[in-house]
Amino acid sequence: DRWRDWLANCHRLQGRIHSFGLMCGSAVAKPADIVVRKHLYKIYRYLNCIHALTLQSVSIELKEMQIENEFIDVLNLLTEEEVTRLARMDNKMRDALLCWLGIEAVSFLKHD
């Protein structure tokens, strides 16, 4: 029963991430606009980073990854500047990323 609850939570999270990505992707009026593409790529990176951080405590592969190294070089989800800012957040990194995601989504919608 515990396993099914955990799996259901994973599927809910994945569903929310997919829904948010789909809403952003379907809101694009000018897909060739480089600024729009940069916003979408940042949204993509943040969504995947939030997903990775959420599953890090239970995933064998993610558990060993350090945000200062693998999240930049292996996963290619964060820039060095973003990691420097996030490192100060300690156990609130995911919360900070959610805020950044919201800011980026609003900026994207205002531009497009």
Confidence of residue 58 (pLDDT cuts 50, 70, 90): confident
CB contact at 8 A, 78 and 100: no
Average pLDDT, the chain: 89
Confidence of residue 112 (pLDDT cuts 50, 70, 90): low
Confidence of residue 41 (pLDDT cuts 50, 70, 90): very high
Confidence of residue 31 (pLDDT cuts 50, 70, 90): confident
Q: Residue 70, CB half-sphere, CA atoms under 13 Å: how many?
A: 10
Instruction: List the helix and strand counts (H, then E) for the chain.
Output: 6, 0
